[in-house]
Amino acid sequence: MTARLIESLATTEQLAAVFSDTSVLEAMLDFEVALARAEARAGIVPKSAARQIRAAALPGEFDIDKLSRAMFRAGAPGIAVVKALSEKVRARDPEAAGWVHWGATSQDVADTALVLLLKRAQPILAGDLKRLEKALRALSDAHKTTLMLGRTLMQAAPPVTFGLKAAGWLGALARGGKRLESAFKEALVLQFGGASGTLASLGDRGAAVARALAEELGLRCPEAPWHSHRDRLANLVCCCGVLTGSLGKMARDISLLMQTEVGEAAEPGGEGRGGSSTMPHKKNPIACALTLSAAYRVPGLAASFLSAMVEEHERGLGSWQSEWPTVASIVQATGCAASSMAEVAGGLSVDPARMRQNTENTGGLIFAERAMMALAGELGRDVAHKLLEDTIQAGIGKNQDLGAMLAELPGISSRLKRNVLNQLDTPDGYLGSAEAFRKALLKGPISKRGKR
């Protein structure tokens, strides 16, 4: 399904469907059906009642607008759903209606439903990250010798390769993906504790029912209910924050490379993508913009979740009730960023000639460090640094390259061999361990999704 207009820049169609009204209701009903089945297996609920509950739990038969209003009045999603489901079961079998939601509490429904939604979202995120990792690996290999300016504090610095830059993006995203994968594994656990987290209403069979319920839902069964302990979800949203930050860093780099006066790379366009409502010549970095938007929003949302962790006793007041929209927004923003950058990496245009030209346009000034280190053996590093600094400042506006400036200095030509001066601004010879680092990044801690 498509996203709501107000969320159109904040999610993808797949994730909008995961967190849609119908999907949320379905997850809550799945909990109630699985609970009845688990309790029927334990001999607590009649099997006939479990069948009636399952037959009545059809999302399409519920009035979602009416449910939404009832949820607001009740202050808890589970109460309204349980009441509505009970009414539908009662219409089929009055006796069976009494077994709906047996031994559970409303937070059990809400929390487990959220976990089920996260379970549905995980493969979507994993798929986009896998596409992105594959595309970045290909970019890095294709441009392992493509020279470009290094840029520090937004200023020109000694050269790097685009292959190394792409490998750097890949390394950060692979590490983030691995953390997220682990966080999902930890968070996808059942919530089932009853009134106070003891399942006292089920006597000594509470733990057995919990295990059976987790099996029915395909979730792990935790060692104990976690009503007011939100650390697993907190870890997940924080991992989303770190990953989205890494995606934002990649988007920032590419959008800067797309600036007209830089012109070294461009994200793919296409019908309706990247244009302007007033300037026909524009090719805007739209996917980067969507990713940066997510990277701006997620940290604040994660902080909102963390601030709600300080819950009271066995059940929080107003804290866990705040989580549904927060977690849904975080996961959808992360997915939007991952999908957007997978599109960018898969169709990125790179201009090696422009990259080299921009390097040459510095007049060799980016090799001042190279010259300084060559002179440092005889003059000392501090003296060599001061000499280069003064020479460059004095030469500004004379339209000379660094080698020519140094050749005019008395005594310098005797200290720097002519071939050193001639090759001073040759970028290929001043890449250090760039290729070794690139290869190491490509062999780094790649998540299972990106394993070759």
- Identify the burial level of 272 via C-beta atoms within 10 angstroms of its C-beta, where 0-12 means exposed, 13-18 middle and 19 or more buried: exposed
From the candidates 276, 307, 349, 433, which is the catalytic residue? 276
The DSSP symbol for 45 reads S
Active-site residue flag, 276: yes
Q: Specify the residue for token string 């919990």.
A: 210
How far apart (Å, rounded) are the C-alpha atoms in residues 403 and 26? 71
H/E element holding 108? helix 106-142
How far apart (Å, rounded) are the C-alpha atoms in residues 81 and 68? 9
How far apart (Å, rounded) are the C-alpha atoms in residues 353 and 363? 16
3-class DSSP state of 233 = helix
Active-site residue flag, 23: no
Q: Phi and psi of 143, rounded to 5°?
A: -120, 35
Question: Mind giving me the DSSP string for 145-201?
Answer: T-EEEEEETTEEEEEEEHHHHHHHHHHHHHHHHHHHHHHHHHH-B----TTTTS-GG
From the candidates 315, 319, 322, 354, which is the catalytic residue? 315
Q: Phi and psi of 284, rounded to 5°?
A: -85, 150
Question: Known catalytic residues?
Answer: 276, 315
